[in-house]
Amino acid sequence: MEQGLNDIDRLLREEKRLSAVESYEDAWAEGRAAGIEADIMAEAAIATALGELIRASDEAGALALLERMRDRLIAGEFDSDLRIH
């Protein structure tokens, strides 16, 4: 029974993640269409996300997220030449 709940939670979380990615991609495209440079958009997005995460949980949670993202970056996960959709 617990495995089934874990699977449902995992699926719901993935659905939310995909929805968030879609919303973010729309906002990114809107900003780029307005002439905002990618580095400015990225810095604003990261700063906003970290601020919201700190408000929602704490600084340790934000630092943990940064470490996970750093590991993913080093692993090449965000390299557009390697990414498969």
Structure confidence at residue 82 (pLDDT): 61
pLDDT digits (tens, 9 = 90+) for 17-69: 999 999 999 999 999 999 999 999 999 999 999 999 999 988 998 999 999 99
Structure confidence at residue 54 (pLDDT): 93
* Domain residue limits, the chain: 1-36, 37-85
Structure confidence at residue 29 (pLDDT): 96
Can you say whether the dihedral through the CA atoms of 1, 61, 66, 51 is positive or negative? positive
Can you say whether the dihedral through the CA atoms of 71, 73, 76, 82 is positive or negative? positive
Helix (H/G/I), strand (E/B), else coil: 24: helix
Q: Which amino acid does the sequence have at 23?
A: S
pTM of the predicted model as reported, rounded to 2 decimal places? 0.72
Is 4 or 62 the better-scoring residue by pLDDT? 62
Treating both helix axes as pointing N-terminal to C-terminal, what angle do 38-56 and 2-33 enclose, rounded to 10 degrees? 140
pLDDT digits (tens, 9 = 90+) for 66-85: 999 999 999 999 887 765 54
